[in-house]
Structure 1
Amino acid sequence: MKPRRRLQRRLLAAFAALTLGVAGLFAFYAIAFVYMVEDRFFVAQLHDEAAYLRQAQAASGRWPAPRAAHLTLHTDSAGLPSDLRVPFLAEPGRSEFPGRDGRHYHLLALNGNDGRPAWLVAEVGDRLVVRPMRRHIFALLAWSGAIVLALALLLGAWIAHRSSRPLAELADVVAGLQPGELPERLPATRGDDEIGTLTRGLEALIGRVRTFVAREQEFTRDASHELRTPLAVIRSAGERLAAEADLDAAQRRHLDHIRLSAAQLEQTVTTLLALAREQPLAAAGPTRLLPLIERVIVEQAPLIGDRPIRVDLDVAPAAATPQPAAVLHIVLSNLIGNAFAHTERGSVRIDLADGTLRIANRGHAIDDALRAALHQPFTKREGSAGFGLGLAIVQRLCDRHGIALAIVHDADGTQARIGLGA
């Protein structure tokens, strides 16, 4: 599946957001500018008329009539127009007031020579230019913004496609990489930008991965040959020895144990090689749990030694799981062996309930940080005689075959819980 072109969409969204922001800011300043110019025109007219009125009042001792028809002079606030008087008395500091029926007022306070206040009022409703054109201005700004946005999106799409195309091609190639089919070259390697640097770094990494895969394949091939040959010799020698008629019961019991261990070791080699090749092991059929667990208990019993440990097994004879027997044998051998090795006395209980196999023992408590890292290679608890690889192998096998594994510690001790789906 091709990766989604999120980078192109983000670039387009950035262009669109920037364009809308710039257009909105421009529209705000444009509207504010035209309103301010219109208001400054009326304010300047009022100040010019106020200067004339003060000069005339100083010369004659009384206020003359304003020269323009839309201007009126009021020496008493009660004489103000009704739709101006009420808001003016509520906010005497304002100088601009909207009126009724399309009227609009600008007001300027005057002080005569006698110290009594007066108010020069300009009713400019029929002289307004911007407010009657507001719809046209907003429509023009909206259409202009839409056109600019469309142009910005076209430009952004071109830039986004041109900029992200090499990265998209590289993403398509990387998404389809397979360990056995690593390409020699990747697209977009000639550029000196960040994409070219990234591509060359990926090519170097792919080269190292190719070398590692080849080395691992050689190892698995050599290990398969070197391990299977002595196991075949052991099995053949065991079969010839089993044909001898003069063996007593104890010798035959030991011989059966050797042959069974050799067969289990062959299964283990097959499982580990499949794990190294990243190939899940297919099950021949349902695996019965009770015989497998009993066999593992017998194999791991030497780890108990002479310690007073009792094994409680509660698994129904008919219990089975679709997981391969070879995989479960490795998993159970590690977990049951750990339970035996880390229990000083008491019991190790193995039971199955609701598809979960539990292996519980009363060993020493495991620190939370250590328990979270036990699945990592070379991590082991204090006093362990192993190399810290068993649980790492178990975790990889469980991950590969979809087996849920959890190791918990509570008041009843340590529990390994294996979800088998049985």
Structure 2
Amino acid sequence: MRSRRKLRFRLVVSFALFGFGLSALFAVASLDIRTRVENQLITSSLQDEVDHLNTQVLEHPDRAPAFDIVKAASWSDRTIYKAPLTWQNLDTGVHDVYEAGPDGRQRHYKLAVRRKDGIISFLQYDVSRDELGKRQLLLAVIGAVFLFGLLSLALGLWLSRKVLKPVTQLAERLRHFRKNGKAEPLAPHFADDEVGELALALDEYSNRLTAMVERDREFNSDVSHELRTPLAVIASTTELLQGSPDLTDKLRERLKRIERASRQATEMIEALLLLSRAERRGPTRGETTEVAKVASDVIESQRPQMRDKPLEVELVVHSSLSVNAPASVLSVALTNLIGNAIKYTLEGTVTVLVEKDRIDVMDTGPGIKPEDAERLFQRGVRGEGAGGSGAGLGLAIVRRLCELYGWDVSMRPRADTNGAIASIVFQ
């Protein structure tokens, strides 16, 4: 495994260098902008002043020249009336004065006033050019901020891609494993840093998960073999016993019950194994399963539950319906639905209705509440009146089988009378 700096250390160093570099660039740019603006303003001001001075000397060589940037004048208390009207009542200090300049535009001046011993002195400085420089500096700084913002975005994208590249590679390898269906060690491909530790933890988790799946697969295989063998013996033995000529009708009926029970157990084992592997398997040789026939067999297998009950079970077939699923799966689902209807119905009728795309099991029992219809398909939940029998797993198994084959199973209360309707819609 390659040895590198920790990812946290690289992030800290990268952002520290990034911040230092960006601050240094901004400082250099600010100083450069300030220097350029100052030089430009000073050059422009001096050039304008010397041009004005030259013009005054040429036009009036006998007069003392006046200056626009700085002007000075002094008056006494008796001659102060000669000063501009806005200056005459100003106290000692520095004042902001806004007057029209030689070009007729409003300009901003700083006016220093000193009153002492009857002499009043004024010193005027034109700050309009400084304000122009400030505006130019502000615009330049805003432009620099925008430029450095774009530079920061570009550098941030580059740094994030560089620093987070190992994480992206780890995600790509995980997606590659998912596509190929096999897991390979991740840790050897990454450095000895946080991402490498994550890859090592994922390898350990994958090994534990693989071992657990393998144990589950072996357990299912062992259970399937160990349970199917005695059930096959029971089925063959009952078949042989039924062929005996000296059997009484009562014994023959009991042997049929044993045969039906062993067949149901075999079907339940097969369905549970399919659920444990989340494996959808269709009937052999492309055959389909006739829903009405399976429903009829289930009804016959459930007749012992109707003893001592004023209850009738009828099968109504409105349309022929076949599904692409093993008969054992359909039998397990219908056994739970029809068996529940018979168990909860003390008297009346249980009707199994086969339509062109669905099968409905309607009973005349106590019914269910609309808000409990979906909850009954959860593990461990039993309907009202269940007593102490059952673990509340039958409908949960039916739901899982239907989800495996893309069917829609539901329950709802009857609208015409007491009772409930359990439905499987085949899609």
Settle same-fold status: TM greater than 0.5: yes
- More divergent stretch after superposition (203-212 vs 217-226): 203-212
| Bigger Rg, structure 1 or 2 | 2
Show the counterpart of 1:304.
Answer: 306
- Asked whether 1:266 is paired with 2:269, we answer no
Check 1:107–1:331 CA distance in 2 against 1; reply closer, same or farther (3 A cut). Answer: farther
Q: Give percent identity, aligned residues only.
A: 29
Amino acid across the alignment from 1:340: I
Report how many aligned residue pairs link the two structures.
352
Other structure's SS at 2:410 match: strand
1:407 to 386, 406, 411: 411
Q: How does 1:224-373 map to 2 (within 5 A)?
A: 224-246=224-246, 255-256=255-256, 258-284=258-284, 285-353=287-355, 355-364=357-366, 366=368, 372-373=374-375
Tell me how far apart the structure 1 counterparts of residues 111 and 360 of structure 2 sit (CA, whole Å): 93
Post-superposition shift, 1:297? 1.6
Other structure's SS at 1:226 match: helix
Amino acid across the alignment from 1:153: L
Amino acid across the alignment from 1:62: Y
- More divergent stretch after superposition (132-141 vs 164-173): 132-141
Amino acid across the alignment from 1:337: G
Check 1:255–1:212 CA distance in 2 against 1; reply closer, same or farther (3 A cut). Answer: same
Other structure's SS at 2:297 match: helix
Q: How does 1:192-231 map to 2 (within 5 A)?
A: 193=194, 195-196=195-196, 198-231=198-231
Other structure's SS at 1:359 match: strand
Give CA deviations for 1:16-51 in whole Å, capped at 9, x if unaligned: xx99xx99xx89xx7xx98xx99xx9xxxxxxx999
2:395 to 375, 387, 391: 391
- Asked whether 1:62 is paired with 2:72, we answer no
Tell me how far apart the structure 2 counterparts of residues 241 and 294 of structure 1 sit (CA, whole Å): 24
Check 1:107–1:410 CA distance in 2 against 1; reply closer, same or farther (3 A cut). Answer: farther
Post-superposition shift, 1:413? 3.9
Show the counterpart of 1:171.
Answer: 174
Post-superposition shift, 1:339? 1.5
Amino acid across the alignment from 2:174: A
Check 1:172–1:317 CA distance in 2 against 1; reply closer, same or farther (3 A cut). Answer: closer
Equivalent pair of 1:343/1:361 in contact (CA under 8 Å): yes
Tell me how far apart the structure 2 counterparts of residues 373 and 102 of structure 1 sit (CA, whole Å): 89
Check 1:387–1:102 CA distance in 2 against 1; reply closer, same or farther (3 A cut). Answer: farther
Tell me how far apart the structure 1 counterparts of residues 235 and 401 of structure 2 sit (CA, whole Å): 26
Show the counterpart of 1:416.
Answer: 422
Post-superposition shift, 1:149? 3.2
Other structure's SS at 2:81 match: coil
- More divergent stretch after superposition (227-236 vs 127-136): 127-136
Superposition RMSD in Å: 5.0
- Asked whether 1:149 is paired with 2:168, we answer no
Tell me how far apart the structure 2 counterparts of residues 251 and 102 of structure 1 sit (CA, whole Å): 129
Q: Tell me the TM-score normalized by structure 2.
A: 0.62
Equivalent pair of 1:105/1:121 in contact (CA under 8 Å): no
Amino acid across the alignment from 2:235: R
Equivalent pair of 1:104/1:125 in contact (CA under 8 Å): no
Q: Where in structure 1 are there 5+ consecutive unaligned residues? A: 1-10, 42-48, 66-71, 76-93, 114-119
Amino acid across the alignment from 2:423: R
Check 1:74–1:406 CA distance in 2 against 1; reply closer, same or farther (3 A cut). Answer: farther
Tell me how far apart the structure 2 counterparts of residues 335 and 95 of structure 1 sit (CA, whole Å): 98
Post-superposition shift, 1:212? 2.5
Give CA deviations for 1:118-173 in whole Å, capped at 9, x if unaligned: xx9979489834657888776665545434433332223212225x2464256336
Q: Where in structure 2 are there 5+ consecutive unaligned residues? A: 1-10, 42-68, 89-95, 116-123
Show the counterpart of 2:47.
Answer: none
Equivalent pair of 1:182/1:206 in contact (CA under 8 Å): yes
